[in-house]
Structure 1
Amino acid sequence: MDFKDTIKAIGERIARLKDSIQTEEATKTALILPFLNALGYDVFDPHEVSPEFISDIGTKKGEKVDYAIMRDGHPIMLIECKHHNQSLTLHDNQLLRYFHVTKARFGILTNGVIYRFYTDLIEPNKMDQKPFLEINLTEMKDAQVEELKKFHKSYFDVESILTNASELKYMGQLKPLILQEMNDPSDALVRYIAKQVYPGLLHAKMFDYFKALIKKGFQQIISDQITDRLKSALTKEEMLETPAAATANASNEPVVEAKKDPTIVTTAEELEGFYIVRAILREGFDGERIVHRDAQSYFAILLDDNNRKPICRLYMNGQKKSIAFLDEARKEVKYEIKSLNDIYNYQEQLKKSLEMMLAESKKKE
């Protein structure tokens, strides 16, 4: 299992266990230690992961930070833990006090679900009040996985992380502001943009007109970019289409609709569902053989990128969400799901469906 799948499995574990965890100690044992282990550190070796790390600070003696990741006898990361239901705050926190008296360049504040990574970008040897990276392990994005990988024992390099930390920090703060402007343009932005194209007096009526126009403009720009990418993907798909796929489309068996409509948009929720299915089926199986194709009415997850081998279909675009399988007569059977987490309730059906598709492949061979 590669790092990406390992971290996604940790996220799935958190979603499954967190509601039954009652204490901070249980949070450490059930959620945080498995995460540190996934980063390549031996949680049972105090030379690598030192629990209850002590570093006397002036007149304060015996204060402890929950964990210190060690290298060559010195801490490189300090970790402060909270119960998973607790809010994460640095107020009167040991991380702030320990940071400037140890050789650690990174502080991590976590409740086992959310991890906030800190360093000293603003003032040397004084930990910033705001994190340069924040990750929710139950809502991981691919780009965040790559950033997290830099903290793995095998890849950990202080200078490499610090080089990118500033951009991560400010981009993390800029993106919500940009999104806010796109959804509800501020007065200052409306006036600035309107002045570039409208020479007249920007009275109240014209101000409201331009505000609505700018918001619509943002939406159209995003729509155009998505359409362009889909057209590019469709062109590549048509070039790679095989005679076998054409034969499949001519048969009476259920097939995945070709992605010929540029209005088809693959959502983040559909992709997350795909990753959950692939994570469930990866044990003892090459996950790269499991792929997805989107269609107008459903999102298909296939074996070997073959539309005659559907493992399942996800219906995520309507008010009711569902997961569907083909029975032995190749008729579709749907099951309603309330959220993506419900996919885990169908692990046996997924494995049975995969086995059925593999068995059919062997027969044809």
Structure 2
Amino acid sequence: MDFIDVIKALGEKASRMKETIQTEEATKMAFVMPFISALGYDVFNPHEVVPEYVADLGIKKGEKVDYCILKDNAPIVIIECKHWKEDLNVHNSQLHRYFHVTSTRLGILTNGIIFKFYTDLVEPNKMDDKPFWEFNITELSEANIFELKKYHKSSFSVEQILGAASELKYSREVKRIMLEELANPTDVFVKHFVKQIHSGVMTAKVLEQFTGVVKKALNQLISEMISDRLKLALATEEDRDKIVIAEKVAENTTVSPVKEPENKVITHEIEKEAFFIVRSILRTTIDANRICHRDTQSYFGILLDDNNRKPICRFYLEGTKKYMGIFDEARKEVKLEIPSLDDIYKYADQLLATVHAYERKLEKA
């Protein structure tokens, strides 16, 4: 089985067996050790995985973290485990102490079901209070699996993981805030919309009236977007063409007859994942905000400075075979088949070289 199948099987096992797991040690044996093994590490090789890793703090001796993953005899990830029924929110202080006295930059707190990933984004060498990423292994999305692949022994890179950590952290917080606003919109959130659609005085009564309108409108929008995506996903190729034609006809009924209907380009999750991987590779060299993407009907392009004259790479991900287009010194595109998005990392040097070439031209100008 490949990595995706192994992780999904582990999630199904955890969902199926958890009620029979009575102790913390059983949780480790049934869920955590297989998880470490799924990442490509030999749990029975003390040069790769050390159980009960000593993490003494000052005069307090005998402190041990449940597992430590090693690379070249140096700790790269520490893992603290709890029973699967335990609430992890009350246990991060223990991992915090271990993190402080080891040289690792990554810590995982888990009960075998929930996995929380920590690093030191706020203050160097001090573990953040909040995880930059977490997931439930029984409810894994494709995006989570692609992210988890970065921790596999075959592709593990602290620099690339930390490069994406801040983005994961802030994306997670934005999603949390948006969910809260969708459930119970705050006055500040509602005012953002009212200012743009209401010309009168914004009284308390007006704000109260628009709160319900905004909440209903946004939830309807999300439902419609999901419905549209499902229609396209389930439709045959012939049906998709009909849907596109119907959309164009509908557009023509609401705009001037001489205006050409706009093409509908849908950016898929897999294209977003490819973009995030490229950005995580390049952000160690340039400001991540300079790396942009543009979706077209024929390819998904990634550009430097949102400039069509500075293409970094292109992706062709909607067919049965997936390709990545990279550019040589003459800016000629070379298409390469990528069976998995993980294969993007194989071309990190070429991507960096392309960006460096643009930067050198800019310096000479």
Question: TM-score, normalization: structure 1?
Answer: 0.62
Aligned match of 1:35:
35
Is 1:189 equivalent to 2:189 in the alignment? yes
1:75 alignment partner in structure 2: 75
Q: Does residue 208 of the first structure (1) align with residue 208 of the second (2)?
A: yes
CA RMSD of aligned residues (A): 2.1
Mapped partners of 2:211, 2:239: distance in 1: 43
| Offset from partner CA, 1:249-305 (integer Å, 9 cap, x none) | xxxxxxxxxxxxxxxxxxxxxxxxxxxxxxxxxxxxxxxxxxxxxxxxxxxxxxxxx
Question: Corresponding residue for 1:179?
Answer: 179
Aligned counterparts, 1:80-159, within 5 A: 80-89=80-89, 91=91, 93-159=93-159
Q: Percent identity?
A: 56
Shift of 1:216: 2.4
Q: What is the letter of the counterpart of residue 57 of structure 1?
A: L
C-alpha distance in 1, partners of 2:223/2:89? 38
* Residue 232 (structure 1) shift: 5.0
Q: CA deviation at 1:233?
A: 4.9
Matched, 1:162 2:162: yes
Q: Secondary structure at the match of 1:150?
A: helix
State how far apart, in whole Å, the 2-side matches of 1:42 and 1:183 are.
Answer: 45
Go from structure 1 to structure 2 and tell me whether the alpha carbon gap of 1:23 and 1:226 turns closer, same or farther (over 3 Å shift): closer
1:221 deviates by 2.6
The one-letter amino acid paired with 1:26 is A
C-alpha distance in 2, partners of 1:92/1:223?
A: 37
Tell me, in whole angstroms, the C-alpha distance in 1 between the residues paired with 2:34 and 2:224. 43
Native 8 Å contact 1:106 1:117 kept in 2: yes
Evaluate the alpha carbon distance shift between residue 93 and residue 231 of structure 1 in structure 2; reply closer, same or farther with a 3 A threshold: closer
The structural deviation recorded for 1:234 is 6.8
In structure 2, distance between residues paired with 1:128 and 1:176: 18
Q: Is there any run of 5+ residues in structure 2 with no aligned partner, and where?
A: 242-365
Counterpart of 2:50 in 1: which secondary structure?
Answer: strand
What runs of 5+ residues in structure 1 fail to find an aligned partner? 242-365
Report the CA distance between 1:157 and its aligned residue: 0.4
Partner in structure 1 of residue 348 of structure 2:
none
Tell me how far 1:93 sits from its aligned partner: 3.6
Q: 1:240 to 1:207 in 2, by over 3 A?
A: closer
Q: Which stretch has the larger CA shift, 39-48 or 193-202? A: 193-202
CA distance in 2, matches of 1:62, 1:233: 55
> Tell me, what secondary structure is at the counterpart of 1:201?
coil
Residue 198 of structure 1 is matched in structure 2 by 198
TM-score, normalised by the number of residues in structure 2: 0.62
Deviation at 1:89? 3.2
Q: Map 1:1-365 onto structure 2 (within 5 A).
A: 1-89=1-89, 91=91, 93-229=93-229, 232-233=232-233, 237-238=237-238
SS at match of 2:9: helix
What's the CA shift string for 1:334-364, capped at 9, x where partnerless? xxxxxxxxxxxxxxxxxxxxxxxxxxxxxxx
Sort the Cα spacing of 1:239 and 1:133 in 2 relative to 1 into closer, same or farther, 3 A.
same
Residue identity opposite 1:40 in structure 2: G
Q: Specify the alignment match of 1:276 in structure 2.
A: none
C-alpha displacement at 1:52, in angstroms? 0.4
- 1:70 aligns to what SS in structure 2? strand
Q: Deviations over 1:106-152 (max 9, x none)?
A: 00001111110000000000000100111111111111111111111
Deviations 1:58-114 (A, max 9, x none): 112221011100111111001101011111136574421222332211000011111
CA distances 1:13-72 after superposition (whole Å, capped 9, x unpaired) = 111111111111111111111111111110111111100000332112221011100111
Structure 1 112/196 Cα, relative in aligned 2: closer, same or farther at 3 Å? same
Letter in 2 for 1:177: I
Q: Distance in 1 between matches of 2:216 and 2:53?
A: 54
Q: Give the distance between the partners of 2:59 and 2:172, measured in 1 at CA.
A: 37
Question: CA separation in 2, counterparts of 1:120 and 1:155?
Answer: 21
CA change 1:153–1:97 in 2 (3 A) is: same
Displacement of 1:202: 2.6
